[in-house]
Amino acid sequence: MTGYIVRRLLGLIPVLFGVTLLIFAITRVIPGDPAVAMLGQRSSPELRERLRADLGLDRPLWFNVEQASETGSIGALFDSQYFDYMGGLLSGDLGRSIYTRIPVRESLSNRFPATLELTLIAMFFAVLIGVPAGVWAALRRGSLADTAVMTIALSGVSFPVFWLAIILIYIFAVNLGWFPPSGRLTPGIPLQPITGLYLLDSLLRGNFTAAWDVLRHLILPAIALGTIPLAIVVRMTRSSMLEVLGQDYVRTARAKGLGERSVVNKHALRNALLPVVTVIGLSFGTLLSGAILTETVFSWPGIGRWVYDAIAMRDYPVIQGGVLFVAFLFVLVNLLVDLTYSLIDPRIQYS
């Protein structure tokens, strides 16, 4: 097992290397001058030159052959944009925002807890409703109820997330006034962060006023973000349940005279949940990319909103850093899902 984990971890290296290479290529090799893109067509040439020097864009992309042949040292060969970028990455330096000058890494660690909290609650929402709904539909296969659940699930994956978010705000925040339309916490309510996950923090501090307020802020964005994973979980649970219900051991359990409830909960559901766990893990990616849209609509101070603002400002180091961070996270979560899966299911061979 240890050997398997090590092998999988080593297998990540070429992929993560490729991801960094791709991001570098997208931002530097694609035709077009980033300085012009950032400053606009009408900016003065001197200003562009200064920004280019500031960002190190005046140096060669891959190898500094010119400087190496002038100075005769091999080290000078690596005085290039690419090695600068990789050197920074390896030492955890993602650059600074062009406008605020705040290091990208610092903003990431400040904002990630907000995104994580929203993602976890959205996932919770998806599982809490999705698994029972899927089981319910599977037990009534072919009935009107089954068709209805599956049709609703199919509509769930067809919603534009940002539009759903706007409609939720319009109905439940603006018209009914049940939930706040934006933000994480009502200004004025004191909360000393510990982990940065506000719901957890407020509970740890025993501050139930804040906990209630945080929860109210979380509900609408979590529903908007969780709808697509919810639909996926429903479909997966149903199909997995249907497969398991046809297995011999379920028939045996029934033949033994076990009650329907016991057959479903103890024998069928436990086995049916395996693929569902995978799907839940994999929807983490859907949630992270959906967070850009949801956080934008709800003014949620996470990574998604930050990247969105950076796009509007053409703040390239922030866009690069944010995209790189999410891609790395996604790759790691996928690996974790795979490993968990092989732990739960002993039939999987570690080879």
Residue 28 has φ and ψ, to the nearest 5°, of: -115, -35
Beta bridge partners of 96: 103
Please give the Cα distance from 70 to 72 (Å, whole number).
Answer: 6
Taking the CA atoms of residue 298, residue 301, residue 305 and residue 310 in that order, the dihedral angle to the nearest 10 degrees is 140
Burial label, 318 (beta-carbon count in 10 A; 0-12, 13-18, 19+): buried
Strand ranges inside 117-252, DSSP E? none
Instruction: Give min distance, CB of 32 to other proteins, in A.
Output: 7
Residue 103 has φ and ψ, to the nearest 5°, of: -60, 140
Compare residues 67 and 286 and give the one whose CB is closer to other proteins. Answer: 286
Beta bridge partners of 207: none
- Cβ atoms of 258 and 321 closer than 8 Å: no
Please give the Cα distance from 221 to 335 (Å, whole number).
Answer: 27
Residue tagged 């600074």 (tokens):
96
With b meaning 16 or more CB within 10 Å and e meaning fewer, what string describes 199-210?
A: bbbbeeeebeeb
Q: Which of 345, 220, 201, 227 is nearest to 278 (CA)?
A: 345
Instruction: Give min distance, CB of 327 to other proteins, in A.
Output: 5
Compare residues 62 and 159 and give the one whose CB is closer to other proteins. Answer: 159
Instruction: Give min distance, CB of 284 to other proteins, in A.
Output: 8
Instruction: Give min distance, CB of 10 to other proteins, in A.
Output: 14
Instruction: Give min distance, CB of 124 to other proteins, in A.
Output: 19
Compare residues 214 and 326 and give the one whose CB is closer to other proteins. Answer: 326
Compare residues 124 and 163 and give the one whose CB is closer to other proteins. Answer: 163
Compare residues 182 and 207 and give the one whose CB is closer to other proteins. Answer: 182
Please give the Cα distance from 104 to 317 (Å, whole number).
Answer: 7
Instruction: Give min distance, CB of 102 to other proteins, in A.
Output: 19
Compare residues 239 and 247 and give the one whose CB is closer to other proteins. Answer: 239
Instruction: Give min distance, CB of 235 to other proteins, in A.
Output: 7
- Please enumerate in sequence order all residues whose Cβ is within 8 A of that of 176, keeping only pairs 6 or more positions apart, or say none: none
Compare residues 64 and 115 and give the one whose CB is closer to other proteins. Answer: 115
Instruction: Give min distance, CB of 205 to other proteins, in A.
Output: 33
Please give the Cα distance from 321 to 216 (Å, whole number).
Answer: 31
**What are the residues binding other proteins (CB under 8 A)?**
14-16, 18-19, 21-23, 26-27, 30, 32, 34, 37, 151, 154-155, 157-163, 166-167, 169-170, 174, 235, 238-239, 242-243, 284-286, 288-290, 292-293, 296-297, 307-308, 311-312, 314, 316, 319-320, 323, 326-327, 330-331
Residue tagged 């500094």 (tokens):
64
Element (H, E) at 304: helix 303-313
Identify the three-state secondary structure at position 103: strand
Please give the Cα distance from 287 to 179 (Å, whole number).
Answer: 22
Instruction: Give min distance, CB of 132 to other proteins, in A.
Output: 18
Compare residues 171 and 189 and give the one whose CB is closer to other proteins. Answer: 171
Compare residues 36 and 200 and give the one whose CB is closer to other proteins. Answer: 36
